[in-house]
Amino acid sequence: MRVTSAWALMAAATVTAMPQPVSKRDPFPADGTVVGGVPHRPFRIRRQAAAPATPQGNQLIPVVVGGAQDTFVPNLIMAQVGDVVQFQFSNGNHTVTQSAEGAACQPLQAQVPTAIHSGHVPFKDGQAMVGTFNMPITSADPMFLYCATGPHCQEGQVLVINPTNANQVVQYSKLAAAAKANVDGTTVSGGAVGQIPLANAAFVPAPAQGAGGGGPPGGGAGGAPAAAPAAPAAPAAPAATPATPANPAQDPAAAPPAEAPAAPPAEAPAAPPA
């Protein structure tokens, strides 16, 4: 009987020590509940997805067109398919026009009608809105762009997207500088023209031309040179100084000539008649 009781006690202890199944009605017990001799710690999954191993597309890449100088800033971009390049047009009148790699300043639209061309987008002093051209990246191949306004292309307003190497940008700039003509595009293609507030733009407008020294003549510009000659008018004071020696009583050099001619003529004629 004692042996049987001992085995019964051992069996009861073993069953008590074994992990007990959680009730189906309460699959997630409250924090701190002892389950199988271990306090329960709930496992929660964050709803934010983990960061991808490689950067994703769909980025907005701003590029400033024109301004104080006729340039693209930056003039080299690495973009992925799905990104959108937003051209923001600063001071002047500029375009974003695509060309072939070996034909700088010549529109690719002559061969490919769907090639990039923004049309002419101006920006004047005092504007509160900035013209934009949003161009989605649809290919990872290199893309060559230039401004088709006046001689801007030959002057270095060029841009390369996804170049195979840095030398490709240099060679394209050299071809642009040697181009005999800067040819305009035809119709707007490859992007969408829009506007954004100046406060949201990636640039500060260049100072107005009248604010500089070489601007067109105006009321403020002409007033400054007139004030400068007015200062030399002060030498009028030295003119008053020579007037002081004009007093004979104070000038010893002027007194002797006045007395010398008066004495000799009076004595000479008196001697012969006597």
Q: How far is CA 221 from CA 12, 124, 207, 215, in A?
A: 106, 21, 15, 8
Is residue 219 predicted with pLDDT exceeding 60? no
Helix (H, G, I), strand (E, B) or coil at 194: strand
Where does the pLDDT of residue 214 fall: very low under 50, low under 70, confident under 90, or very high at 90 and above? very low
Please report the pLDDT score of residue 7 as a whole number.
60
What is the Cα–Cα distance from 200 to 189, expressed in whole angstroms?
25
Please indicate whether residue 34 or residue 105 has the higher confidence score (pLDDT): 105
Please report the pLDDT score of residue 240 as a whole number.
47
Helix (H, G, I), strand (E, B) or coil at 203: coil
Name the residue among 206, 198, 199 with its Cα closest to residue 130: 198
> pTM of whole model > 0.75?
no
Query: Dihedrals φ, ψ of 170, to 5°?
Result: -65, -45
What is the Cα–Cα distance from 209 to 180, expressed in whole angstroms?
30
* Mean pLDDT, the chain, integer: 75
Please report the pLDDT score of residue 149 as a whole number.
97
* Residues 131 and 188 sit within 8 Å (Cβ to Cβ): no
Q: Based on the number of CB atoms within 10 Å of its own CB, is 84 exposed (0-12), middle (13-18) or buried (19 or more)?
A: middle
Please report the pLDDT score of residue 205 as a whole number.
86
Domain 60-204: CATH superfamily is Cupredoxins -  blue copper proteins (2.60.40.420)
Mean pLDDT, to the nearest integer, of 15-35?
54
Domain coordinates in residue numbering, the chain: 60-204
